[in-house]
Amino acid sequence: MTSFFAVSSRQGNPDDFKYLVDKAHSYGLRVIIDIVHSHASNNVHDGINRFDGTDHCYSHAGAKGYHSAWDSMIFDYSKYEVLRFLLSNLAFYLDEYQVDGFRFDAVTSIMYHHHGIGFSFSGDYKEYFGLQCDMDGLAYLMLANTVIREINPYAVTIAEDVSGMPTLCRSISDGGIGFNYRLNMFLPDLWIKMLKETPDEFWSMGHLCHSMTNRRWKEKCVGYAESHDQAIVGDKTIAQWLFDTEIYTGMSKKQSKSIRIDRGIALHKMIRLLTQSLGGQAYLNFMGNEFGHPEWIDFPREGNNYSYHYCRRQWNLVDDQSLLFDCLNEFDKVMNKWESIFNVMESEDLYITLKHEEDKVIIFEKANLLFAFNFHPSKSFENYRIGTQWNSDHIILFDTDSASLGGNGRLNAG
């Protein structure tokens, strides 16, 4: 990170970015930007490293001020000038550009002296409280959330934390650190791990439900199925793992779907719906996941001979109504429409009725809705008896197998 107070030229000049923010606000959209206060570039000529000629102007001296995993400079949050620099950085974007909040990058590195390097968190509370905690870093995060809310009480702050630090998303008055949301980073890792290592006919329904709901009460999480960690630098997107090479040859609506494409489309939709409805109080879509984008993102670098080939998203695919990408995108629209009506994610009323390993069925009640997922690769069920809290007839509102959404239309509407 070298440009703390400079908007990337990819967003144009400062006035261009201001126009972008204003335009988003005119559509009722809030703009949350990524902020990196966990480390800074080691560059001397165009960064703040060795700004005064020493190795400890904004950082710790010696090895303590160096992040070995990222080859970068680590801030010393006990220093007054560091706090002034970082807090004014937040105020600058709130005042000058009128952004609506921040996604704080790599918060784990701020909260612990070991920065998460070579450390695997198990959930034992001893890992969160002790000499390994950087109390200056924790105090900075509390200060940051305080300053942000004083400038804009409605601003949203999201923490990218892999550790699961308790009270991260509780208010400072409650003794918390003050973030609104924590990124549920386990979920995209879970989906990719399952797609890589376990054939879907062997997926555990109990493990899926536990993973989706394993979070602290009253601490809000952002659930998401795919992230940059999986879909960048040579890995595969969820769609690629599901469709493999057939993503290039089998996505036309004019041809009969192969078994792999048919199954992949069904799973791609169910993965997103299950993640949105169970995975947190908010939902994040990684660009292109809404329509099953093929290939990864890779920025020009020495490792790819500075190629721009993968440095884009093929938005033209979703605009081509002869391709099944259009159906996956339409599913995303309908999924979010029902969410906007019923506010499923924010509902605290959740009861998981069934996690049937043999039938590969997950059924739960939430927000006055009944969700029924059939992950079985070959079995359909009729007259499947389950208990619900309602003794009246049920109406099908949303069917992932609808023909208009790329499915086979096997359910009777109504």
CA angle at 142 for the pair 140 and 143, rounded to the nearest 5°: 60
149-158, 320-329, 344-353, 382-391: the lowest-pLDDT one:
382-391
The pLDDT assigned to 148 comes to 98
Across 131-135, average pLDDT: 91
Is 1 part of any domain?
no
Across 17-34, average pLDDT: 96
Confidence of residue 27 (pLDDT cuts 50, 70, 90): very high
89-93, 221-225, 391-395: the lowest-pLDDT one:
391-395
Is 267 part of any domain?
yes
- Looking at residue 43, which CATH number applies to its domain? 3.20.20.80
- Do 191 and 236 touch, CB atoms closer than 8 A? no
Q: Report CA Rg, the chain.
A: 23
Across 317-329, average pLDDT: 95
Overall residue count recorded for the chain in this entry:
414
- Whether residue 201 lies in the annotated active site: no
Strands 101-104 and 156-159: parallel
Confidence of residue 41 (pLDDT cuts 50, 70, 90): confident
Is 356 part of any domain?
no
Residue of 100, 134, 160, 295 with catalytic role: 160
Is 256 part of any domain?
yes
Query: Could you give the CA distance from residue 96 to residue 116 in angstroms, rounded to a whole number?
Result: 34
Is 192 part of any domain?
yes
Query: Does the pLDDT at position 19 exceed 90?
Result: yes
Domain that holds residue 251: 9-348
The pLDDT assigned to 111 comes to 95
Is 394 part of any domain?
no
Q: Which residue do the tokens 């081509």 mark? A: 320
Q: Give the model confidence (pLDDT) of 174-222 as tens digits.
A: 999 999 999 999 999 999 999 999 999 999 999 999 999 999 888 999 9
CA distances (Å), origin 366, targets 221, 270, 371, 391, 405: 17, 16, 8, 16, 23
What rounded mean pLDDT belongs to the chain?
92
Confidence of residue 56 (pLDDT cuts 50, 70, 90): confident
- Do 287 and 224 touch, CB atoms closer than 8 A? no
Number of domains in the chain: 1
Is 375 part of any domain?
no
Query: Does the pLDDT at position 233 exceed 70?
Result: no
Phi, psi angles (nearest 5°) of residue 97? -110, -5
- Do 66 and 45 touch, CB atoms closer than 8 A? no
CA angle at 207 for the pair 205 and 209, rounded to the nearest 5°: 70
Across 320-346, average pLDDT: 96
Query: For residue 129, what are its two tokens?
Result: 């409280």
The pLDDT assigned to 50 comes to 82
pTM of the predicted protein model: 0.92
Is 380 part of any domain?
no
Query: Could you give the CA distance from residue 409 to residue 100 in angstroms, rounded to a whole number?
Result: 41
Query: Could you give the CA distance from residue 5 to residue 52 in angstroms, rounded to a whole number?
Result: 19
- Whether residue 105 lies in the annotated active site: yes
Query: Does the pLDDT at position 300 exceed 70?
Result: yes
Q: Give the model confidence (pLDDT) of 67-90 as tens digits.
A: 888 888 899 999 999 999 999 999
Residue of 55, 105, 244, 320 with catalytic role: 105
Query: Does the pLDDT at position 230 exceed 80?
Result: no
121-125, 320-324, 394-398, 400-404: the lowest-pLDDT one:
121-125
Confidence of residue 98 (pLDDT cuts 50, 70, 90): very high
